[in-house]
Structure 1
Amino acid sequence: MPEANRMIQTSQTATMSARDVCKTFHRSNGWFAKPSETRALQGVSFDVEPKEIFGIVGESGCGKSTLARVLVGLENQDSGSLSLGGRKLFGPGMADVPPVKRGIQMVFQDPYASLNPRMQVGEAIAEGLAISGMARSEREDRVAETLSLVGLSPDAAQKHPFQFSGGQRQRICIARALVMEPEFLVADEAVSALDISVQMQILNMLLDLRDRIGLSIIFITHDISVVEYLCDTVMVMYGGKAVERGKTADVLDNPQDSYTQTLISSVPRL
């Protein structure tokens, strides 16, 4: 079998640029009540460089998961633009690029809920490849190589999700994203449902993937310690806005925004 990183490739020259991304949710409150709205994203802008791990941190409800879903195309933005490697994915006066053609894959918080319990692992990983028309033999080779890349045996393809631990299931979800050879991986609270020791294993694997295949990652979390360990740069969100951006060490050592200062001071330290 060829080495895993020969087939699984990513673009090491693609920069992601988001400008003034806005999203508002409208809700009806019944016949006689006035409709309400929630401004989830308010003009969010950022850049992510090739092979960078870009952290997005903030409290629950700050808009970070909504931003992730807009990036991958699971939610439609109200306004703003997004480009990847100079290729426009959405923006004023143009039709949005469909999610399957964006070159961005997503890993969700709950690995068990992300997998169909009736499907074998190999079928789940190869589903996107099958939809794209890849031959069965080629799909099987790609799945085996991707499983090896995330630290699982290729014979895991014949098993079902319930036969794996939580950390192994998250590796399977990451493999399902990587098998499509994305330019960017968006991980939304990808380790928050795991034990501390397993969290460290997954974080180290993401660092290894960045180094081995040039993977660019947007990592969304509420945990400052994870950001400090994993991310090269960080963006702090509050109330749907990006209140601070910069190199992780600079932001954590010398926060400028009052919310960032409060967020960092709330982390217990020995």
Structure 2
Amino acid sequence: MIHTSPTVSMSARDIRKTFHRSHGWFAPPSETRALQGVSFDVQPGEIFGIVGESGCGKSTLARVLVGLEEPDAGSLSLAGRDLFGPGVSGVPPVRRGIQMVFQDPYASLNPRMRIGEAIAEGLAIAGMAKSERDDRVAETLSLVGLSPDASQKHPFQFSGGQRQRICIARALVMEPSFLVADEAVSALDISVQMQILNMLLDLRDRIGLSIIFITHDISVVEYLCDTVMVMYGGQAIERGRTLEVLDNPQDSYTRSLIASVPRLHH
């Protein structure tokens, strides 16, 4: 049975990341301050939304959280254990407790690899026996609404929505405490978006999964997220319970972001 740790919380403090870019011999290098001291907490079983326009730093933050980018400064802890920060070296085993789902389900899967192999890849690296891997893959496919028979097929045999379910299964098979979803529905049709969002809500309720959902779409945040953090220019400019932030935004940027899209309800 796929399970998570329903009592695990996440705490991020003062995360910073600057990218440096060279422009050749005669031009001075430039720098982009993608993250400028971002701090937040996510409670067990919470769906935490991170929202902002393209370039605000939210995707860089996602990549830092899962270890795809190394921060310049700051700390991150999961269940009180540090994943990075002062005094932390190497890759702590607890890092496996955070898994990621990317935006493009077409680019996220190897077209030559069968679905079952793709989902089980992390389990194989962790040393799990093949019979156990096969059972875990079948169980996880069922959890995301797909037949276990899908494991024998290739990505081209699935629709975009089905591929995103497969990508979510690949993350869930590692039994993470946190799922980081970076624009995970923006490449899908509206009707398929709602199916994926409802599935994420169901996963939170059924297995206690905590989710960090990153998006540019306020209406998605309103539908899905318990709490929200608004980002602009690499900074967290507003955070709080979702409906409180949307009904009474304190920052002018948040107000303009809300005004730019229709609200689902008031």
Shorter-chain TM-score bucket reads over 0.9
Which residue does the alignment assign to 1:15? 9
Other-structure match for 1:103: 97
Counterpart of 1:196? 190
Structure 1: segments with no counterpart, 5+ residues: 1-6
Letter in 1 for 2:215: T
1:81 aligned partner: 75
Matched, 1:166 2:155: no
Change (3 A) 1:96 1:62: farther
Identity %: 87
The CA deviation string for residues 139-163 of structure 1, in whole angstroms up to 9 with x for no partner, is 0000000000000000000000000
**Are the counterparts in 1 of residues 81 and 94 from structure 2 also a CA contact under 8 Å?**
no
**Pairing partner for 1:206 from 197, 200, 209:** 200
| Corresponding residue number in structure 2 for 1:184 | 178
Q: Deviations over 1:143-200 (max 9, x none)?
A: 0000000000000000000000000000000000000000100000000000000000
CA contact (8 A) 1:26 1:36 kept: yes
Matched, 1:127 2:121: yes
CA distance in 2, matches of 1:112, 1:247: 33
**Could you tell me which residue of structure 1 aligns to residue 231 of structure 2?**
237
C-alpha contact 1:107 1:190 (8 A) present in aligned 2: yes
Q: Which amino acid aligns with 2:45?
A: K
Instruction: Give the gaps of 5 or more residues in structure 2.
Output: none
Cα distance in 2 for partners of 1:258, 1:163 equals: 46
Q: Report deviation, 1:121.
A: 0.2
CA contact (8 A) 1:72 1:99 kept: no
* Paired residue secondary structure (2:249): coil
- Give the Cα–Cα distance (whole angstroms) in 1 for the partners of residues 168 and 100 of structure 2: 8
What is the deviation of 1:103?
A: 1.1
Matches within 5 A, 1:218-237: 218-237=212-231
- State the shift of 1:88 in Å: 0.6
Q: Secondary structure at the match of 2:107?
A: helix
Q: Matched residues in 1 for 2:238 and 2:24: separation?
A: 38
**How far apart are 1:16 and its partner, in Å?**
0.2
Q: What is the TM-score of this pair, normalised by structure 1?
A: 0.96
Distance across 2 between alignment mates of 1:66 and 1:135: 35
Return the offset for 1:99. Answer: 8.0
User: Deviation at 1:98?
Assistant: 5.2
Partner of 2:200: helix, strand, or coil?
Answer: helix
- The answer on whether the counterparts of 2:4 and 2:176 sit within 8 Å (CA) in structure 1 is yes
Q: What's the counterpart of residue 247 of structure 1?
A: 241
Structure 1 runs (4+) deviating above 3 angstroms are 98-102
Change in 2 beyond 3 A, CA 1:99/1:37? farther
Does 2:34 correspond to 1:34?
no
Q: Contact between 1:89 and 1:96, CA under 8 Å: does it hold in 2? A: no
1:124-144 deviations in whole A, cap 9, x for unaligned? 000000111111111000000
Q: Name the counterpart of 1:3.
A: none
C-alpha root-mean-square deviation of aligned residues, in Å? 1.2
1:73-105 per-residue CA deviation (whole Å, 9 max, x = no partner) reads: 000000000000001101123215358834100
SS in 1 for 2:238: strand
Of 100-109 and 246-255, more deviation after overlay is shown by: 100-109
- Kept after mapping to 2: 8 A contact 1:27/1:35: yes
TM (normalized to structure 2)? Answer: 0.97
For residue 50 of structure 1, the aligned residue among 26, 37, 44 is 44
User: Contact 2:58–2:231 (CA<8 Å) still a contact in 1?
Assistant: yes
> Secondary structure at the residue paired with 1:114?
coil
Q: Give the Cα–Cα distance (whole angstroms) in 2 for the partners of residues 87 and 163 of structure 1.
A: 41
Q: What is the CA distance between 1:60 and its match in structure 2? A: 0.0
